[in-house]
Structure 1
């Protein structure tokens, strides 16, 4: 089982972000910690027979929490759950918060062995448009500090398709990041949510995104370049050096059970999915009431199969046709024969060794392709 902990605090909300977050303050951190520890204890009793294979602390900006607060969280986790020895333990960080070697050393002492660093861009003007708090210089400096602190397993997040971004700028970002020697790079296409600051500016015509054919080149050329630098693409948005795939996220794509702790966190256990309230007050009240009244969704077999298709086709490995037949009693190729033929002739899928997988061009439009199979 996978364990995710959501830290909802940020210094300021980024202009593209639609996740639940709050301005960080000590007055909010105290009730958050109390509620989180109650949930850890509650879920630990529920899941006492399950082994935790990986931990991921995300946000928000987890590096805004003090080491004292993080230690309290981890002491409770260790007392409540059965943890695998030498498990992957990822911690999200933003460059502007990486400035104290003692803090980084303390993170390692807590067992954290993987850092996911939210760089997003190395162009200062674009960072300003995104509402990010760091500069390109700070981003590069933070990478060095993390590596000097002993975090060999370092992942860097980047975004393509940004306002004002050209193909040349995107490729230069990738070349610069590769020279920093991370073990993992995540490249996400910008997703515009309507209620965000950036979404409103786009609707009002105050910013423009690159044209679609330029965005397509960013994705395909970027993926080809990273593979030429020995970064293996193992999922639509993720590239790693050999032996450094993110085991936690791979668990999601493989359909493994996961427990999410903290406000707005999502869980999937034994075919049931639920989401914690997206407010600190609502979350705290729920933990005090032993999660009474929390609605759970029974996925059912049909939804489970659809999600298996969706998650598998996001990966470079693809959908196992034998497993699909075992789950459904149907032959995937017969069931979707005309669609598969059309996608193959358009160089959007490949079929080999009992798997159907998307090509790079297919991954670029993966959402549209997957919808054809599951709806």
Structure 2
């Protein structure tokens, strides 16, 4: 069981954005920059200052989960990671059983890094494999091979990681279902505790997103549907439970950090481009290293461009996030947040969705079926999320 904060102590999960990569992948729309000489030396003291600033504002925050994302957090030198973890432990109260996750790329998950991460308490590794086919990795602009990905997973086990996740992408240009399932079976052979399987989204402003040929070669909708349904069936047969639209885990190994976000709990984002939600307030740090640095130095980080989430927005977001999960939406909780009975307000839509077996309602919860998850965006919009 997760440790809970004392009743009077504020609690929030922490997200730390490490905004550096060896090179930008062709599909990536997240904020990151190429790692240049001296960049980490400039980033680290500012991040430590940001940690200290929030500790001064919030006090001894109780932290159930920490997530290092990016970018490529596995580019952090061991001594930098040690300083960050020392700052977190000295400024906040990390739960005794805190889940501390870190994203890593195969080519930078060296034995030294993995040992250092485990020594600093990182207990969950999310390895960005994306594919076990070299031609697909080249298409995506990934800087590693399938063999390097396999070897990195093996090194992670050797370093003591008992909670290993692999990230994969399906629905690539010119990809066939058989090729995707080949990658997925290779991933299952490594027996990870967690698998994230994301359908490719071509974002404007990325090399793949701006490539007309790549768009024209995307698999047809019918094949994408088969890929998704057969992904769930294959992983279920292999002992993985689907707990969110794109995430599967062995029993007891769902990502607690992501679950906290999907359940609407508070989280504090540190580093450029990181988003925070504390109570009704939300803000996002600048997607620019210089602008982020200026706000940290001026002790203004988190105080600019704040959004106050109205009860209506919080209810909409609760619906959207809950319906992405296997638990689904607690209808009584939604009524308490919104003041509306979802089943009454959208009676005709609910009836149609049930007849098409896209949703189920059981014990006060509305859940999407696996087929419903295929068209989740349309269902969520129909039920009131704008």
TM-score under structure 1 normalisation?
Answer: 0.97
Residue 356 of structure 1 corresponds to 366
Distance 1:205 1:44 in 2: 46
Contact 1:31 1:284 survives alignment (8 Å)? no
1:326 to 336, 352, 356: 336
Is 1:140 the counterpart of 2:162? The answer is no
Distance 1:76 1:22 in 2: 24
Residue 4 of structure 2 corresponds to none
- For the residue of structure 2 that corresponds to 1:137, the secondary structure is helix
Contact 1:159 1:190 survives alignment (8 Å)? yes
Distance 1:205 1:6, change over 3 A: closer
- For the residue of structure 2 that corresponds to 1:71, the secondary structure is helix
Contact 2:101 2:123 survives alignment (8 Å)? yes
- For the residue of structure 2 that corresponds to 1:162, the secondary structure is coil
Give the aligned CA root-mean-square deviation in angstroms.
1.2
Distance 1:204 1:127 in 2: 17
Residue 159 of structure 2 corresponds to 149
2:204 to 173, 178, 194: 194
- For the residue of structure 1 that corresponds to 2:198, the secondary structure is strand
Shift of 1:204: 5.1
Is 1:272 the counterpart of 2:281? The answer is yes
Residue 242 of structure 2 corresponds to 233
Task: Choose 206-215 or 348-357, whichever is displaced more.
Answer: 206-215
Task: Choose 288-297 or 180-189, whichever is displaced more.
Answer: 288-297
Distance 1:181 1:204, change over 3 A: closer
Is 1:20 the counterpart of 2:25? The answer is no
Contact 2:173 2:215 survives alignment (8 Å)? no
Contact 1:37 1:73 survives alignment (8 Å)? yes
Deviations 1:268-322 (A, max 9, x none): 0011100001111000000011116611000110000000000100000100111
Gaps in structure 1 of 5+ consecutive residues: none
1:338 to 348, 353, 362: 348
Deviations 1:96-148 (A, max 9, x none): 1123x232111111000000000001111110010000111111111111011
Distance 1:232 1:48 in 2: 38
Shift of 1:206: 7.6
Contact 2:60 2:91 survives alignment (8 Å)? no
Contact 2:314 2:337 survives alignment (8 Å)? no
- For the residue of structure 1 that corresponds to 2:350, the secondary structure is helix
Distance 1:342 1:25 in 2: 55
Residue 300 of structure 1 corresponds to 310
Shift of 1:207: 5.9
Contact 2:360 2:368 survives alignment (8 Å)? yes
Alignment of 1:31-180 (within 5 A): 31-99=42-110, 101-180=111-190
Contact 1:48 1:82 survives alignment (8 Å)? no
Shift of 1:88: 0.4
Distance 1:189 1:123 in 2: 16
Q: Which runs of 4+ in 1 moved over 6 A?
A: none
Task: Choose 12-21 or 289-298, whichever is displaced more.
Answer: 289-298
Distance 1:78 1:340 in 2: 48
TM-score under structure 2 normalisation?
Answer: 0.94
Gaps in structure 2 of 5+ consecutive residues: 1-11
Distance 2:359 2:215 in 1: 37
- For the residue of structure 1 that corresponds to 2:283, the secondary structure is strand
Shift of 1:330: 2.3
